[in-house]
Chain A
Amino acid sequence: MHAPIAAPLSSSEEIANGAGAAAILAAGVGAFLVGVLAVAADKSAAIKDLMNFWKPTGALSGVTTSAVVIWLVVWAILHARWRNRSVALASVNATALMLLALGLLLTFPPLADLL
């Protein structure tokens, strides 16, 4: 059985990149928040207590729940604003990848200990 014949591709002008940009930037924000909140909970006893949403898991529960909730809210807001238009994707990508890299670095304990 043959695969369906490929339909012609739409031109990039017809497809707004805003929805994709919103997802990319929000993911960068989410990754960054995981790193920032993890460091904050490690450095401050008050924040650690605040992040202790569920005692058996400790601060991990609050750090990750907060990061995920904020990530989804940011994504929803950006999606609502950008979904029907095209945005400067190079800037969005650069910002998202920088946030992602920072998030990665901040989760690394020896680096976080230097802050």
Chain B
Amino acid sequence: MEITTRSLWTLVHGMGFGALYLLACSGALVELYRRYSAHNDVPAAARDDKFLGVYLAAMAAMAWLAVLTGSYVIYPWYRAVPPAGLHNLGAFPRSLLLSSPSTSGWHSLGMEWKEYIAWLAPISITMAAAVALQYGRNLKRQPQLRSAVLCFVWVSLLAAGVAAFFGATINKHAPVEGGNTIQLMHGE
């Protein structure tokens, strides 16, 4: 069982940071709705208020790691230009996708949307974390601040969802492969 270093980085970026961020996003939304619901009369414990801020800050760290690894580790491999006359474009995903009308849209729509929309996730969730950490339990008394935080968390979920969908499908059509091979275990 082997894996290439580029493939491993893609896993770290997509499954490690990206997918975990999406899961965490749904948790954050549930917690925000539950905590600030008009029907929730039970005061939150101070520990819970701190937890929300720390949880959102951890999400922000994950979102930044996802976009930074995506943009500065994987994207250069994806967009590398093949030498002239090369027929096997397997190591050059962008060129491979653009070489056929049946796959070019995955780059021209998918990657070109993904590469920018993904950055809205860390910006949005960093703001949400900062507001939650700054206001703590007083956020309960700031409905307009809460509404804005909620909207930005929804947008961060949308941005991360678009990026994750296209990342997964693009990697299915033209995987980022290459680099050293890491042997995980010997076969039988």
Contacts and interface: CB of A to CB of B under 8 A. Distances in A.
Interface stretch (B23-31, B105-113, B172-180): B105-113
Contact of B109 (A20, A38, A109): A109
A97 B120 contact: no
B109 A107 contact: no
Interface residues of B, number: 45
Interface of A: 3-7, 9-12, 15, 17, 19-21, 23-24, 26-27, 30-31, 34-35, 38, 54, 56-58, 60-61, 63-64, 67-68, 71, 89-90, 92-93, 96-97, 100, 103-104, 107-110
A60 B142 contact: no
B159 A104 contact: yes
Contacts of A68: 119, 123
B12 interface: no
Nearest to A63: B116
A46 B74 CA distance: 26
B144 interface: yes
Contact of A3 (B47, B130, B141): B47
Interface string B69-80: 001100110011
Given A24-B131, A104-B159, A6 B120 contact: no
B141 A15 contact: yes
Most interface-central of A4, A7, A27 (chain B CB within 10 A) = A27
Nearest to A24: B148
B116 A23 contact: no
A59 to B, nearest CB: 10
A100 B155 contact: yes
B148 A17 contact: no
Interface stretch (B1-9, B14-22, B38-46, B83-91): B38-46
